[in-house]
Structure 1
Amino acid sequence: MLRRLLAVLMLFAPLLAQASCTRSLRVPFEDWRPYSFMADGKHTGLETELLAAVAKEAGCSVSYVREVPRNRRLPMLLAGELDLLIAATPNRADAAWYTRPYRDEVLGVFMRAEEASMDVRSLDELLRANRRLVTHRGPASVPIINDFAARGLLIWFEEYAKGVQLMQLGRGDVLLGDSVAIIFAARAVDVPLIELPITLLRDPVTYKLSRKSLTEADLRAFNRAIQRLDSSGELQRIRARWLGPGIKR
């Protein structure tokens, strides 16, 4: 009888090892369409669906924490008060774990459809033409933004809907930011913007895990889950569902 029990446990050992999460993962909520937002009382979005799929595959559940200021998220993660941050770029200086990449983050440059010129190949050209730059006051930055600021040609925005509105009102000439967020914000209010063929940044992003509250087994479980879902095409299916046929990320 004992031998049979041991044999059964050995069969299930790989599955038990993968389900290494001992409690629900605490993740800060952010209203960032189309990645994460509330609709009909439910938390939804591209990042929400991706994390739900990866967490489930890794044997975890997710609990979103609201009202966490952006500047408090990393200190809380490092202290073990949060467990996971989404869309992270690896930084060796951080005392945190990073998973393998699960999607790409792309910075794009947009102009109003009636003014866009597909011959423009750099922000330098737009700066020399004294074009006014509208951009997101966020973690990603491009050095030439400081040059626009020095010439009084820079306008900041906090939310992408506001950035699109500034373009619609003619307050700016060029909109720089996360390509997917800009496209969705423009579609929502039917503002025709054209993405220029300017390469700024295309970086793979990862999940950032707390070393205080999680274990290396959790990290391995997440990496295996991402790899399996990537190989099966599930991550691509989720991205396609949100991005549509016109956007490839």
Structure 2
Amino acid sequence: MTGSQPRVAVVTGGSRGIGREIAGRLAADGFAVAAAYSSSSELADEAVASVRKAGGQAIAVAADVADETDVSELFDAAETAFGGVDAVVHAAARFALSSVADLDLDVLDDLHRTNIRGTFVVAQQAARRLRSGGALITFSTSVVGLAFPEYGAYSASKGAVEALTMVLARELRGRDVTVNAIAPGPTATDLFLDGKDDETVARLAARPPLERLGTPADIAEVAAFLAGPRGHWINGQVVRANGGIV
């Protein structure tokens, strides 16, 4: 792309946490960003304003990631505003903690609607619309391998994301489009910290050899690498960005 036609990224969950950090990081790399949000237009507007203040291009688009019409319209908005789509970062997710025995199945259905169906719907549009040289980045979690108690439903939904990611990477043979998943470890976001006492947070922070929680900026650096030309040889992988936690 040259001149007034930047590379273009669609970032779901772009109004807060890791998604917002990724939107800003990609904008710093020259991407025009369509930041999707589900509920808080105020936070989304703040994210867009931050990108623009730094000299970047961004729009905010309301979208339920599990709704195929909303997601199609999200991609339409990115293409209309900026000319196409070159990277898709699907950071939107729902989270719930419970033992398997005690989980309310309505919570399970809501979680899987966002995390599994939502990932599939976004991936479907990405597969149809990403331009040559593009990248799709989905989000799993390192808990898939760590098997923490009370993460059963969440881990199961993210295991499905990993399976879908591997299949799609192979389905896009010949398209020059990469498909990878990032699997963060414990990361200091509002979603992660909510409901955890200081002792629990400190215990999790001490688990990695680097002896701290991850930050949204740590994860955004991985996303920027995978979305850009330097990371284009990485394909069909799950990147466990977790500081070495075991």
TM-score tier after normalising by the smaller chain length: 0.3 to 0.5
> Which one has more relative contact order, counting CA pairs under 8 Å at least 6 apart?
1
Q: TM-score, normalised on structure 1? A: 0.34
